């Protein structure tokens, strides 16, 4: 199963590294990634494969949210099908 991870917050060194290390700790593979810095704010969107995730998706989502809070960022995880349905025009 695929999911979309979004990360938003004030830019600083190491955001990508910390987020990717957290994903790796759950055996979540990054399939595609896009990031930019706009006026000092970091934004990143990743397509990830959660099929080998070591915990249920709901628990993974909570862990990523907690990591975001710890880092001073907003990290959100959504199943790809739900993300797509929510952003359909």
**16-68 pLDDT tens trace:** 999 999 999 999 999 999 999 999 999 999 999 999 999 999 999 999 999 99
Contacts for 33-40: CB closer than 8 Å, 24+ residues apart: 35/7, 37/11, 40/10, 40/11
Q: pTM of the prediction?
A: 0.90
Bridge partner list, 41: 10, 38
CA–CA distance, 51 with 38 (Å, rounded to integer):
32
pLDDT value of residue 2: 97
CATH topology of domain 2-86: Alpha-Beta Plaits (3.30.70)
The tokens describing 31, both together, are 């399939």
Q: Give burial (CB, 10 Å; 0-12/13-18/19+) of 55.
A: middle
């Amino acid at each position: 199963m695929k999911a979309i991870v979004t990360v938003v917050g004030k830019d600083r060194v190491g955001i990508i590294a910390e987020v990717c290390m957290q994903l790796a700790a759950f055996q979540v593979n990054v399939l595609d990634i896009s990031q930019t810095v706009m006026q000092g704010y970091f934004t990143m969107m990743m397509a990830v494969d959660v099929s080998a995730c070591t915990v249920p998706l709901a628990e993974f989502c909570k862990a990523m949210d907690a990591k975001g809070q710890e880092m001073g960022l907003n990290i959100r995880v959504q199943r790809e099908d739900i993300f797509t349905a929510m952003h359909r025009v």
